[in-house]
Structure 1
Amino acid sequence: MPFASTSDGVEIFFKDWGPRDAQTIVFHHGWPLSSDDWDAQMLFFLAAGFRVVAHDRRGHGRSAQVSEGHTMDAYAADAAAVVRHLDLRDAIHVGHSTGGGEVARYVARHGGPDGRVAKAVLVSAVTPLMLQTPDNPGGLPLSVFDGFRQGLAANRAQFFLDVPSGPFYGFNREGATVHQGVIANWWRQGMMGSAQAHYDGIAAFAETDQREDLKAISVPTLVLHGEDDQIVPIDAAARESIKLLRNGTLKTYPGFSHGMLTVNADTLNADILAFVRG
């Protein structure tokens, strides 16, 4: 299987599909999933003529289950290691949820100076800061994230059924069409990873302040968010992120959930394609 090595010796699994001379789209997955969460997008953009790349974050999926480095800084550095390994340039980076935070930090700290990033897309992203603080009153209380930690530590297998069965995809909404295969695939991806990586990763996605990252991004950036996102509330995330981006465009979707990239893939894919080609 293809792997890239990081500066601290961690083996990061990646997928690399499509023509080597085509423009590349790099996908960054959310917590606690893997590159498999981008199947609908990778197949769509591959068919549209792009080269598509996605990696498993350290401790997730098929990447090494190390005990260190479960921070946004390390996530971004690991993404940079994959990009350098493949020598990708002029790429579009697309991140979902925690992966959106990873994209923001990667672009801000690693992507700009040498022409490696053309555009960025933040889908249901955790930016700029999920945690409620005195200067971020619209964020979520620490107790919300402590509840995630408690659920994971007590019974990860059950917790990883409860999240996709309910708020992640909006399957808890009255009249929702519930896709059992989607729930099972979320559980499968989560259980492939390390419990410690998932536990430590909660602080990474919840408590990392990325306001300066967003301010530093100069490439065109598309922010996509569902208006019924029960995991990353739109007001504290997308609507704050767009205020900080120099070259950002915000598009929201009434009734769409946090997991819209899967259950509303046709809509998301078309909008991302229009942005990439625009």
Structure 2
Amino acid sequence: MPFVTTKDGVEIFFKDWGPKDAQPIMFHHGWPLSADDWDTQMLFFLQQGFRVVAHDRRGHGRSAQVSEGHDMDHYAADAFAVAEHLDLKKAVHIGHSTGGGEVARYVAKFGQPAGRVAKAVLVSAVPPLMLKTAENPEGLPIEVFDGFRKGTADNRAQLFLDVAAGPFYGFNREGAKVYEGVVRNWWRQGMMGSAKAHYDGIKAFSETDQTGDLKAIEVPTLVMHGDDDQIVPIADAALKSIKLLKNGTLKVYKGFPHGMLTTHADVINPDLLAFIKA
């Protein structure tokens, strides 16, 4: 079975498709989803001759629903357990939303200078810090995240429907074409996971200051963000991240939502390929 056991005894599920001697691309999913959120990208890059890998974060999808460790340090360590188990070298790490935070921590802590990471991509990603603080006045107030916590605790199933059918994919915008299958698939992935992991994960993605991670990354890094992202506003994410990266490239997508990897895969996938091949 495609599981690896971490140093603290947590079983992490992963997918590993394609030729083992090809350059690997490892995908890191967002909250509260699973590796399945990357299926469109994994099939695309598989057809381009790459080896593609994705895992379910602890407490998410098919990975063990453990009580503890729902923070960026453990997220990155779990990803490293997968990469080490598969002996991935010169890999491209692509993270979406919370997964972007995971990639930033992973690359900063485990990927350099061991040669495990060739490039990194942060898509609609949470770094450097989502929460509004005295030092980060552009961030979102704590009440926003408390609302997510309340929704997760009170009626997680309804919250997940509301998020997927509304701001995540921009389906709440006037004239938007709503894909019911996309909404159901988001809900399905979320409900596979642990309520405890999802609840604790809100703190991880909103309150983790990753300024230091971004400054430590030396590999070429692509930052991709839609300017109509209602989940992770671009002004407090990508526009700040690019200033902290030593070797970063920023691509802004006019009108694209947080879930643009799904709604606009026809645009995003070729741009990812161009960056990887450059």
**TM-score (ref. length: structure 2):** 1.00
Q: What SS does the corresponding residue of 1:105 show, helix, strand or coil?
A: helix
1:165 maps to what in 2? 165
2:234 maps to what in 1? 234
4+ residue runs over 6 A deviation = none
What is the alpha-carbon distance in structure 1 between the residues aligned to residue 98 and residue 261 of structure 2? 14
**Mapped pair 1:40 → 2:18:** no
List alignment gaps of at least 5 residues for structure 2. none
CA-based RMSD of the aligned residues comes to 0.4
Q: What SS does the corresponding residue of 1:235 show, helix, strand or coil?
A: helix
- Map residues 142-157 of structure 1 onto 2, 5 A cutoff: 142-157=142-157
Counterpart residue type for residue 158 of structure 2:
Q
**Mapped pair 1:199 → 2:191:** no
What is the alpha-carbon distance in structure 1 between the residues aligned to residue 86 and residue 60 of structure 2? 20
What is the alpha-carbon distance in structure 2 between the residues aligned to residue 199 and residue 239 of structure 1? 27
2:211 maps to what in 1? 211
**Mapped pair 1:9 → 2:9:** yes
Quote how far apart the aligned CAs of 1:32 are.
Answer: 0.1
Count of residue pairs the alignment pairs up: 278
1:180 maps to what in 2? 180
What is the alpha-carbon distance in structure 1 between the residues aligned to residue 253 and residue 85 of structure 2? 36
Residues 123-161 of structure 1, C-alpha deviation per residue, up to 9 Å, x if partnerless?
000000000011111110000000000111110111110
Quote how far apart the aligned CAs of 1:16 are.
Answer: 0.1
**TM-score (ref. length: structure 1):** 1.00
Quote how far apart the aligned CAs of 1:113 are.
Answer: 1.9
Counterpart residue type for residue 68 of structure 2:
E
Counterpart residue type for residue 120 of structure 2:
A
2:133 maps to what in 1? 133
1:254 maps to what in 2? 254
What is the alpha-carbon distance in structure 2 between the residues aligned to residue 266 and residue 19 of structure 1? 24
Q: What SS does the corresponding residue of 2:240 show, helix, strand or coil?
A: helix
Counterpart residue type for residue 199 of structure 1:
Y
Quote how far apart the aligned CAs of 1:106 are.
Answer: 0.1
2:123 maps to what in 1? 123
What is the alpha-carbon distance in structure 1 between the residues aligned to residue 198 and residue 45 of structure 2? 29
**Mapped pair 1:81 → 2:81:** yes
Quote how far apart the aligned CAs of 1:266 are.
Answer: 1.1
Identity %: 76
Quote how far apart the aligned CAs of 1:57 are.
Answer: 0.0
